[in-house]
Amino acid sequence: MRQTYSTGRRCRITIECVPAPTRHPAQRNCFLPERRGGQSGSLSLCPTTGVRLGSRHSVAGLHPASIPPQLPASAPNELVHGRRRDVEPWMGDHGHVAGNASRALITSNRRITGLSADAIAELSAEIGPLWHECHQDRLACRQRKRAVGAGAKLRLVFVDRLLATLLHLRHGTTHDVLACWFGVDRSTITRAIGEVRPLLAERGCTVSPDARLRTLAEVVEHLGASGKTGIIDGTEIRVRRPAASRKDRDRFISGKNKQNAVKSMVVTDAKGCVLWCSPAEPGSCADITHARQSGLVKLLADGPAVEILADAGYQGLGAQTAGRVVTTPHRKFKKDALDWYEEIYERQRKAHSSRRLRVEHGIAHLKNWRSLTRHLGRREHMSDNVQAVAGLLSHQQIVDLIPARQR
């Protein structure tokens, strides 16, 4: 029986109900599509309901039928998509938790997580005890008390929770896709990321193997003690449009890009290494206002002698900080300027821009983590995302600079 339904303007869905195809017992829990007649171009059938699936039924190619199945070890060769296929080692040795082969595959290439295997090992050794302590505190707060080791066991161990969080931050992978990869429910991935991400954000930015910067005051003190030059700039991250019923929804519209975004202030050194990222603010907040609200003016006025480079968006901070914030040279004559003045102005502008350019490189490295290009989740999590990525990036930069024999 075939029926056609109209779901809207120029959109129709054809549903054909046919008997469910027979499957091998090992495939009863796998959402594998079956081909009709073996002809190319034929649509897939859901093995559970037998409903004909068109291209509009799947979302961006992420229908469960497109996810590689996790076959049991007792069936080394099964029919997958009409051909014989051996069980791959990345499928794991059990159904719900990623195995050692999966972890080895994820950590084998730093392009997958953005971190090397050594950095992930150090991160796991550092964050693991903190996560275990927080987990025990959550168990102690429950009304129903259990003995130590009693109760349901975690289906996703800490190492897998850390890897899932890194994949989410690096590639912006949705929780649904991560749940399919790790063989757990979506709520488990959401809970795991919500537990690990704040711990990563609290680590701060690494400037040396034994020193980290967590606040703007520590950054100013570090620059004053080392005699280095700091560079500040703002970056915007696109977010979802707030609900129509929200009164302050216009606060997230950026005056620069005319889109819904949040803004963060990035501080780097003269080499472009990230030293600190501020919590996210609505996109309508100006760069100079954001700097004043973060307490930068008071820290520079009362703190050590530090040189901070900034662009034209921070003009006015130099007078408030006794010249410690150096901005783009101000153009006095906009029209009919003399040739000698134009030459001097261009020379000063290029000299300032060539030094300030390093902060743009640091922001570009941050934006390589796709969760900071466009955020589709809750805006309340953006501050943790920005600070977690900044800490991970700075940690990897320090690991790359230190020779292997000194680690």
Q: Is the confidence at residue 67, as pLDDT, over 90?
A: no
Nearest C-alpha neighbor of 393 from the set 229, 273, 235, 280: 273
Nearest residue to 317 (alpha-carbon basis) of 328, 309, 329, 325: 325
Final residue before a domain boundary, out of 147, 175, 201 = 201
- The contacts of residue 342 (CB under 8 Å, 6+ apart) are none
Q: How confident is the model at residue 202 (pLDDT cuts 50, 70, 90)?
A: very high
H or E stretch at 84: strand 83-86
Residues 124, 80, single domain; the answer is no
pLDDT value at position 264? Answer: 95
Strands (E), 227-367: 230-238, 261-268, 274-277, 281-282, 308-309, 325-326
In the chain, what percentage of residues exceed pLDDT 90? 47
User: Are 216 and 343 within one domain?
Assistant: yes
Of 176, 201, 226, the position where a domain reaches its end is 201
In this predicted structure, what is the pLDDT of residue 361? 95
The answer to whether 95 touches 70, Cβ cutoff 8 Å, is yes
Strand 230-238 to 308-309 pairing: parallel
β-partners of residue 51 are: 17
Confidence of residue 383 (pLDDT cuts 50, 70, 90): very high
CA distance 2 to 18: 9
Q: Is the domain of 239 the same as that of 290?
A: yes
The pLDDT of residue 6: 52
At residue 107, the pLDDT reads: 87
**DSSP secondary structure letters along 269-296:** -TT--EEEEPPPEETTS-HHHHHHHTTH
pLDDT band at 338 (very low <50, low <70, confident <90, very high): confident
Query: Can you tell me the mean pLDDT for 244-263?
Result: 86
Q: What is the pLDDT of residues 146-158, one digit of tens each?
A: 887 787 788 899 9
Average predicted confidence (pLDDT) for the chain: 78
Amino acid type, 288? I
- Predicted confidence band at 79 (pLDDT cuts at 50, 70, 90)? very low
Residue 58 CB-density burial (10 A; 0-12 exposed, 13-18 middle, 19+ buried): middle
Angle between helix axes 158-171 and 175-182 (nearest 10 degrees) is 140
Whether residues 71 and 195 fall in one domain: no
Give the least confident one: 264-273, 289-298, 308-317, 331-340: 331-340
Please check whether residue 94 lies inside any domain of the structure: no
The arithmetic mean of pLDDT across residues 42-68, rounded, is: 39
Q: What confidence score (pLDDT) does residue 267 get? A: 96
pLDDT: is 153 or 325 the higher one?
325
Query: Does 281 lie in the same domain as 387?
Result: yes
Contacts 24+ apart (CB under 8 A), 68-71: 69/27, 69/30, 69/31, 69/32, 70/30, 70/95, 70/183, 71/26, 71/27, 71/30
240 versus 79: the higher-pLDDT residue is: 240
Number of domains forming the structure of the chain: 3
Q: What pLDDT shows up at residue 251?
A: 87
pLDDT at 75 over 60: no
Counted residue by residue, the chain has a size of 407
Same domain, 187 and 214: no
Q: How confident is the model at residue 46 (pLDDT cuts 50, 70, 90)?
A: very low
Q: Which of 201, 225, 255 is where one domain is finished?
A: 201
**CA–CA separation, 309 and 330 (whole Å):** 14
Considering the domain architecture, whether residues 187 and 215 belong to the same structural domain is answered as no
113 confidence band (pLDDT: 50, 70, 90): very high
Mean pLDDT of the 65-79 span: 35
**Judgement on whether residues 251 and 311 belong to the same structural domain of the protein:** yes
Asked whether residue 331 falls in the same domain as residue 356, the answer is yes
* Average pLDDT, integer, range 77-97: 35
Rounded Cα distance, 237 and 233, in Å: 14
Residue whose token pair is 């100079």: 288
pLDDT in tens, 160-181: 999 999 999 999 999 999 999 8
Which pLDDT value is given to residue 345?
Answer: 87
Check whether residue 117 and residue 151 sit in a common domain. Answer: yes
> Which carries the bigger pLDDT value, residue 332 or residue 95?
332
Q: Residue 36 sits in which domain range?
A: 2-87
